[in-house]
Structure 1
Amino acid sequence: MRRDIQPNERAFSSKEVAEEVGIATPTVRKYGQILERNGYEFLKDGDRRIFVQSDIEALIALRDTDKPLDDTARDLVYQQKERSEGSNETEIAIPDTYDNLLQYPNQLKEILMFLSNELAATREMNVQLINDISQLKTAVSRLQQDHHVISSNIGNSVQKTSC
């Protein structure tokens, strides 16, 4: 599993990567296969690769290399593993974290106000969504009734004309 990706890092599709790197989409796929064959790890959504900035840099390195692609791919895999090992440290709260919060009451107050506002906005959005769903259910029910009436009228019309 990749650990070299930053939180909230932008993800790119193959098409976006192709445009960014200046190569065709099938070439992005080909380079991705070469990298994977040599041990490179991509984020995936099913079978589809999801690219981040470091992946784009790897594709650019493959595009611009004079060496055999597999040799460059192995170098890139090595670099990826080094980045992963460097970011392998798990961030944990140090014991005095909560004590330090008391030293910064204004920051804590700001954080709590922000969270409170976000919670209120979320609740408001939920109420609106519930109302919207209720309106949709009513509309669907009316459409079903209208469909039934129209179907019945068509059936009656067909019987009258065939007699």
Structure 2
Amino acid sequence: MRRDIQPNERAFSSKEVAETVGIATPTVRKYGQVLERNGYEFLKDGERRIFVQSDIEALVALRDTPNSLDDTAKELVELQKERLKESNQTEIAISDTYETLPHDPNQLKEALMIVFKELAATREMNIQLTNDMSQLKTTISRLQQDHHIISSTIGNAAQKTNAKIQKLTEQQTNHYETLLQQEKQKTEQLKQEIQLMRDEQKREWSSQTDFNQRLEEALQQRKGRWGKLFSLFGK
């Protein structure tokens, strides 16, 4: 039985604890199971856990621990046991105080006034804590919105960058294909020019061959005529 809870201390649901600690609701249940497995005591409404401020501090310790969850849970259980011992001692002291309450009405009135003042101060402190929690929730909500805006901005910038990269890639591809097509056309044109030069050279060779043949025939004919002439002089 837990006796370390103060009168009128605020209780939190799992969802409220998740928002306060900054973890998911399933993680709250997981941490609660780890703590109970190692001997930690929670207030319960049936099977539902009811959290108070000291429980939230324990969950924060589990969230931020560099050690294993079970090792940290064991340390938290020891701290809770110490708090329970101190609470038991306080209850004994309070019982003794009731036995020694003054019987003088004036003294009793003064004692009650002191108690009322302490209760009023506690109430004001609770109101201040409630306001602080409200402001903290507002700040967390704004931070979440800012995070969403930043994430959206980064996502949009990434999309624009990818679009630019894709556009540049397409431009480079088109430019390369254009250059390749131009080179093909130049190569084809060069082949045609070379073929024309070869054809022209063949025609020149053929013409030269014909000329040489005619020249040789003409020389042969002249040689025959001169031979006849020389034969006449020889007679």
Q: TM-score normalised to the size of structure 2? A: 0.43
Q: Which runs of 5+ in 1 are unaligned?
A: 112-163
C-alpha deviations, 1:72-121, integer Å up to 9, x for none?
Answer: 00000000000000110322244441414333557779x9xxxxxxxxxx
Partner in structure 1 of residue 41 of structure 2:
41
What secondary structure does 2:88 align onto? coil
C-alpha spacing 1:16/1:102, structure 2 compared with 1 (3 Å): same
Alpha carbon RMSD of aligned pairs, Å? Answer: 2.2
Partner in structure 2 of residue 63 of structure 1:
63
Runs of 4+ in 1 over 4 A off after TM superposition: 104-109
Q: CA deviation at 1:18?
A: 0.1
Partner in structure 1 of residue 88 of structure 2:
88
C-alpha spacing 1:100/1:79, structure 2 compared with 1 (3 Å): farther
What secondary structure does 2:49 align onto? strand
Question: Letter of the aligned partner of 2:73 in structure 1?
Answer: A
Partner in structure 2 of residue 103 of structure 1:
107
Partner in structure 2 of residue 53 of structure 1:
53
Question: Letter of the aligned partner of 1:48 in structure 2?
Answer: R
Q: TM-score normalised to the size of structure 1? A: 0.62
Partner in structure 1 of residue 16 of structure 2:
16
Count residues in correspondence.
110
C-alpha spacing 1:99/1:17, structure 2 compared with 1 (3 Å): same
* 8 Å contact from structure 1 (residues 101, 108) kept in 2: no
Question: Letter of the aligned partner of 1:101 in structure 2?
Answer: P
* More relative contact order, 1 or 2 (CA 8 Å, 6+ apart): 1
* 8 Å contact from structure 2 (residues 18, 24) kept in 1: yes
* 8 Å contact from structure 2 (residues 101, 108) kept in 1: no
Q: CA deviation at 1:33?
A: 0.1
CA distance in 2: counterparts of 1:76 and 1:101, whole angstroms: 45
* 8 Å contact from structure 1 (residues 62, 69) kept in 2: yes
